[in-house]
Amino acid sequence: MSTATIDASRRRFDVKRFLANNGALVGLLILCLGLFIATPDFLTGPNLLNIGIQVSTVAVLAFGMTFVIVAGGIDLSVGSVAALSAMVSSWLYVGSGVSGWIALIAGLVTGLLVGVVNGLVSAYGKLPSFIATLAMLSVARGLTLVISDGRPIKTAPEVSFLGGNLGPIPMPIIVLVASAIIASFLLNRTVLGRSMYAVGGNAEAARLSGLPVKRIVVIVFGLAGLFAALAGLLLAGRLDSAQPQAAAGYELDAIAAVVIGGASLAGGLGRISGTFVGALVLVVIRNGLNLLNVTSFWQQVVIGVVIALAVGIDVLRRKTRNA
């Protein structure tokens, strides 16, 4: 084989590897270019700022979901947990008279505890995470409605601040960046993060190698609940109230963002940076469709197709890896 042929093969391999690792980013750039051509309002300062604020909730929620999917699980309850955490925070502030900071911390602790329950039921109760978190989806949403009696409750000023600005920069964007740094550090720079990949890749092999698999699963779901709570407080801060139906359906957006970002639903694969890009893809699609005056009904159809394509690509990736 000639040197030219080898070089050409190497270039093709490099392109395939780049697209495999950065397909979501390439898709996002193409999407942005298309929307820039289709509507002049897309690449304006106010609209880009709006995209940053909108993506904050989805991305923070999806960061927690990344931990779960990398570890080989799934969490269908994160949207309901986000709503419950914000509602507990607001209820304590309004109904019990606690300080705003305690109310904010209580909201975060609520999400953490619910996530730990998910992990305990999944790891020690040996219930598949799909079933355990599907049950929690209903339980958490029901508790949200019970606490609120179906009505919005005003948030504490400290929570509302999360939806405001720090100087010229919106707080949701600041929280998003801080969350991304923390999540990336946990996944890539800690023993816990490496353990998540090991458990997701092969739980039995991880157990035989001495890893406390059940404890790791509980921690992973606890982190997912904590990030869900933070997302719920961000959303409540933007609305200046905790809404009983807040974040409904957001669990699908979180899962889609993780998979679009390159994670595998089979576990053992995923990146926080990829999840962020995946969340951006979803938000940019919705934003672009709004600018193009596409009805919300068709937007649901488009998002559903994107989710199906993302899962299909994941299946093809797994088949290619195993071939």
Q: What is the 3-state secondary structure (H, E, C) of the chain?
A: CCHHHHHHHHHHHHHHHHHHHHHHHHHHHHHHHHHHHHCCCCCCHHHHHHHHHHHHHHHHHHHHHHHHHHCCCCCCCHHHHHHHHHHHHHHHHHHHCCCHHHHHHHHHHHHHHHHHHHHHHHHCCCCCHHHHHHHHHHHHHHHHHHHHCCCCEECCHHHHHHCCEECCEEHHHHHHHHHHHHHHHHHHHCHHHHHHHHHHHCHHHHHHCCCCHHHHHHHHHHHHHHHHHHHHHHHHHHHCEECCCCCCCHHHHHHHHHHHCCCCCCCCCCCHHHHHHHHHHHHHHHHHHHHCCCCHHHHHHHHHHHHHHHHHHHHHHHHHHHC
- The region that residue 268 occupies, defined by phi over 0 for left and psi between -120 and 50 for alpha, beta otherwise, is left
The reported pLDDT for the residue numbered 81 is 97
Q: For 203-216, what is the mean pLDDT?
A: 94
Residue 315 has pLDDT above 80, yes or no: no
Q: Largest alpha-carbon pair distance within the chain?
A: 78
Interatomic CA distance for residues 27 and 110, integer angstroms: 37
Q: Model confidence over 282-296: pLDDT tens digits?
A: 999 999 999 999 988
Q: Decide which of 292 and 303 is more confident.
A: 292
The reported pLDDT for the residue numbered 87 is 97
Q: Determine, yes or no, domain membership for 315.
A: yes
Q: Model confidence over 77-122: pLDDT tens digits?
A: 999 999 999 999 999 999 888 999 999 999 999 999 999 999 999 9
Candidates 57, 312, 287, 11; CA nearest to 170 is: 57
Q: Which residues contact 168 (CB under 8 A, 6 or more apart)?
A: none
Q: Determine, yes or no, domain membership for 18.
A: no
CATH number at 54 reads 1.10.3470
Q: Model confidence over 149-192: pLDDT tens digits?
A: 999 999 999 999 999 998 889 999 999 999 999 999 999 999 99
The reported pLDDT for the residue numbered 21 is 64
Q: Model confidence over 113-153: pLDDT tens digits?
A: 999 999 999 999 999 999 999 999 999 999 999 999 999 99
Cα Rg, the chain, nearest whole Å: 20
Q: Determine, yes or no, domain membership for 253.
A: yes
Interatomic CA distance for residues 199 and 216, integer angstroms: 8
Q: How far apart are the first and last CA of the chain?
A: 25
Helices 272-291 and 45-70: crossing angle in degrees, nearest 10, is: 140
Q: Determine, yes or no, domain membership for 12.
A: no
Q: Which residues contact 251 (CB under 8 A, 6 or more apart)?
A: 61, 65, 75, 76, 77, 78, 79, 80, 137
Q: Determine, yes or no, domain membership for 62.
A: yes
Count of domains for the chain: 1
Interatomic CA distance for residues 117 and 222, integer angstroms: 8
Candidates 237, 243, 289; CA nearest to 51 is: 289
Query: pTM surpassing 0.85?
Result: yes
Q: Determine, yes or no, domain membership for 9.
A: no
Q: Determine, yes or no, domain membership for 216.
A: yes
Domain span at residue 250? Answer: 25-322
Q: Determine, yes or no, domain membership for 189.
A: yes
